[in-house]
Structure 1
């Protein structure tokens, strides 16, 4: 570093894992369920940046996980296997006190991470999520049979375009610097997914809601339905219109997805209020 180069303070660790995107943090005693969101392969926390606004009073907060290799963590090496990634996310959730009255949402790779983190927290004796939302993802036992992370760069670009990662009108990015910067992270995330091997264990005991899309080449309706075996509680499956990235801005079913989330999270809030009221009547 030259003497004239300005020093830039590193952001706090909390902001690295859970960037706020301008939203103030909730009060420590804020009532309601916190929704913790996990990104898809190659994705960033910013896909969830406006969810707090859309979900409104149904949640106390929305916290999106920012994985290494992207955003303010661009200079960090991305994870290439699931086990250390899951352990570190679980550590961070506990360290930041985010494992009280919370729910998980994960899309694609994010759904797999949400499930594994939920199991890890349970195994550590931590409170589990009150609800698990999985979207655009095969059930865990269906992972581990693909090799997209081994594709040459040009074929990986075509794969990303083929599953809708670039969106309509973005085909010019196939040869652009933007996608070139994203390819290493996408490749690493796909390696996490393709190297994953499910280990049989007791399913989570929280309710689960699954979302599939009509034109999703990554996870069809039957593969999403297979999540039903991964909860001992209720299971609800919504089949929506769109491709693999139906949840992103402009996606054909984004509003319906958010509406369903609002409804389920509002029911969680209502249940929590009822439980607190009943507890106050116990002497």
Structure 2
């Protein structure tokens, strides 16, 4: 089993370091490396977003082993990147991830733009698209199970809207609520990643 961790706004290496070092030998952690750094939701309409998708697909493709299960983990911008990379892999005829663990990100059709986020602090704008983000409406659903995580005070990923992610998969979509705001993963990353690890071990390692 390979578990791919996607970069996000902030310090990627510190976010996953403590947890991934404790994974059992049967699960290999691989951080998706991009040549570009400091990317965020601001970039989703730019050439940098397209480049990030291509880099992520290439990085993951090099690690895949035939018939080996793999899953994605992402937070905020990393969640959207993981979702879109899954479609790129499917479009290339490659097997999709078995599971997407997405944190702090609304379903694509519900992402709020900066202009709609008037109540947020300026430092939070990096987690908001500059313009309206809409995925193609005619593409096939993923065949990956989706687990969505949010903080109970996260204004970027409202609890009552997270079930909307279910429209993007033909498999189960479940929602997990943690304590805190959009930065809940900084204080509680071990706990929610351990939930993801537990699901992986229960569903895919038996």
TM-score over 0.5 (shorter chain): yes
2:95 maps to: 127
Work out whether residues 208 and 233 of structure 1, in 8 Å CA contact, stay in contact via their aligned partners in 2.
yes
Structure number with bigger Rg = 1
Q: 1:219 to 1:258 in 2, by over 3 A?
A: same
CA distance in 1, matches of 2:37, 2:29: 25
Structure 2: runs of 5 or more not aligned: none
1:235 maps to: 173
CA distance in 2, matches of 1:79, 1:227: 19
Q: What do you get for the CA RMSD once the two structures are aligned?
A: 3.0
CA distance in 2, matches of 1:41, 1:85: 14
Q: How many residues align?
A: 197
1:141 maps to: 109
CA distance in 2, matches of 1:58, 1:228: 29
1:199 deviates by 1.1
Structure 1: runs of 5 or more not aligned: 1-32, 71-77, 149-155, 164-185, 272-283
Deviations 1:109-162 (A, max 9, x none): 1111100000100000011101111111000112363359xxxxxxx9x522xx
CA distance in 1, matches of 2:44, 2:36: 7
Q: Does 1:93 align with 2:57?
A: no
Deviations 1:49-100 (A, max 9, x none): 2222243346222424345135xxxxxxx88633332123112322x23365
Q: 1:237 to 1:144 in 2, by over 3 A?
A: closer
CA distance in 2, matches of 1:46, 1:256: 15
- What SS class does the counterpart of residue 55 from structure 1 fall into? coil
Q: Does 1:225 align with 2:163?
A: yes
2:73 maps to: 105
1:239 deviates by 1.1
Q: Does 1:159 align with 2:122?
A: yes
* Deviates most, 110-119 or 43-52: 43-52
Deviations 1:155-211 (A, max 9, x none): x9x522xx5xxxxxxxxxxxxxxxxxxxxxx85x755x7463311221211211111
Q: Does 1:197 align with 2:134?
A: yes
Work out whether residues 210 and 236 of structure 1, in 8 Å CA contact, stay in contact via their aligned partners in 2.
yes
